[in-house]
A = this chain, B = another copy of it.
Amino acid sequence: MRIGELAQRSGATPRQIRYYEEQDLLISARTHSNYRDYDESSVETVVQIRGLIDAGLSTRVIRVLLPCVHGPGAELPARPDPVISALLTAERDCLKDRIDHLILCLDQVQCYLDRVEVS
């Protein structure tokens, strides 16, 4: 599929998709006329990226996370890189903190809404 369809189906803009490719989060084949050509799995990938970016992660971090975020069946690196592992461990801790904070925030917002609703 071409970039327009991928954009529609993933909820991103073509500009964003091109940017993600530029940042090495995504690759594309090319048609004979140099149009980007995507397969079905790209939709899922772009949705993933959008979710992570919306969650506040940078493309730099996503670049590292993404290969590990394709389900428990994803390919493992032949020789696991300790630098990557350290980076991911740090990022995991960061994610935990972020999640805790958001949950706290969510609870408080919900609490507020409950009180307003009832009154």
Q: A38-81: which have CB < 8 Å to B?
A: 51-52, 54-57, 65, 68-72, 74, 76-77, 80
Interface of A is mostly: helix
A29 at the interface (CB under 8 A from B): no
Inter-chain contact B99/A69, CB cutoff 8 Å: no
The residue from B56, B72, B106, B111 contacting A111, defined by CB atoms under 8 A apart: B72
Residue-by-residue, is A104-115 near B (CB-CB < 8 Å gives 1, otherwise 0)? 011011111101
Inter-chain contact B56/A116, CB cutoff 8 Å: no
The residue from B52, B74, B105 contacting A65, defined by CB atoms under 8 A apart: B105
Distance of A114 from chain B, by nearest CB (Å): 10
Give me the interface of A with B, judged by CB distance under 8 Å.
51-52, 54-57, 65, 68-72, 74, 76-77, 80, 85, 88-89, 91-92, 95-96, 98-99, 101-103, 105-106, 108-113, 115-117, 119
